[in-house]
């Protein structure tokens, strides 16, 4: 038996939580791609009526190609449901996001979302954040040196993110990213997010605190586990 793709399993399951008439937040990444595919199928086959607010240029492009109606943040006050991935998520539903570079837009959309549904494979669920995945910090290029020095003072080992070509990675917002290693992981994600966001020049931190409501975990046997935050 060929194992299922956990990303596809969780991504498609989340799309079936969507109800007609909803305004959706459309996350970024390889798992959300399958959510977009399933949404497009439901729009075609069920006449599902939705509009989506994309969190990246990449998601916007894919959604348009699939025929998913889109809106901008200027056109919405609240978002009913957002489907997004996570690079890591712990038992308290705290997350690290930003592996795809869309952390700023993802957090803005999450902040006005009534129900945030996070789609992951089992390998993304961890006991402590920051051990297996580096924490992304988005910053304005002008402040690179001072931001790096401040991050070091907070116990971080920052590395400037580069694209596959070797050039410095640039976000959709024209900023750069430090990927930050914390030896032993992140002991207090809430406190770390707070102090990081106080560093002048930092635009956003990849810690997403108290923003997730539903966790959809895909397994390679084709099943899903759904957890809801109490």
To 5 degrees, how large is the angle CA 116–CA 53–CA 109? Answer: 45
Which of 8, 60, 88, 106 is catalytic? The answer is: 106
Rounded-to-integer distance, Cα 138 and Cα 173, Å? 10
Rounded-to-integer distance, Cα 1 and Cα 6, Å? 15
**Residue 106 annotated among the catalytic residues of the structure:** yes
Contact 199, 147 (CB under 8 A): yes
Contact 224, 13 (CB under 8 A): yes
Rounded-to-integer distance, Cα 115 and Cα 92, Å? 16
Contact 48, 106 (CB under 8 A): no
Active site residues: 106
């Amino acid at each position: 038996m060929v194992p299922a793709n956990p990303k596809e399993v969780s991504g498609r399951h989340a799309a079936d939580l969507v109800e007609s008439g909803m305004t959706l937040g459309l996350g970024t990444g390889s798992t959300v791609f399958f959510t977009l595919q399933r949404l497009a199928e439901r729009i075609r086959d069920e006449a599902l009526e939705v509009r989506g607010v994309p969190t990246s240029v990449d998601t916007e492009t894919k959604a348009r190609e699939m025929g998913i109606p889109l809106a901008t943040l200027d056109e919405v006050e609240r978002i009913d449901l957002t489907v997004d991935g996570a690079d890591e998520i712990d038992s308290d539903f705290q997350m690290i996001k930003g592996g795809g570079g869309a952390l700023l837009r993802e957090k803005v959309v999450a902040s006005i979302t009534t129900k945030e549904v996070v789609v992951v494979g089992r390998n993304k669920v961890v006991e402590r954040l920051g051990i297996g995945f580096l924490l992304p910090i988005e910053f304005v290029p002008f402040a690179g040196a001072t931001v790096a020095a401040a991050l070091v003072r907070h116990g971080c080992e920052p590395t400037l993110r580069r694209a596959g070509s070797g050039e410095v990675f640039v976000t959709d917002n024209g900023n750069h990213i430090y990927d930050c290693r914390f030896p032993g992981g992140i002991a207090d994600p809430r406190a770390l997010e707070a102090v990081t966001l106080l560093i002048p020049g930092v635009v956003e931190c990849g810690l997403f605190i108290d923003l997730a409501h539903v966790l959809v975990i895909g397994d390679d046997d084709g099943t899903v586990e759904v957890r809801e935050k109490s």
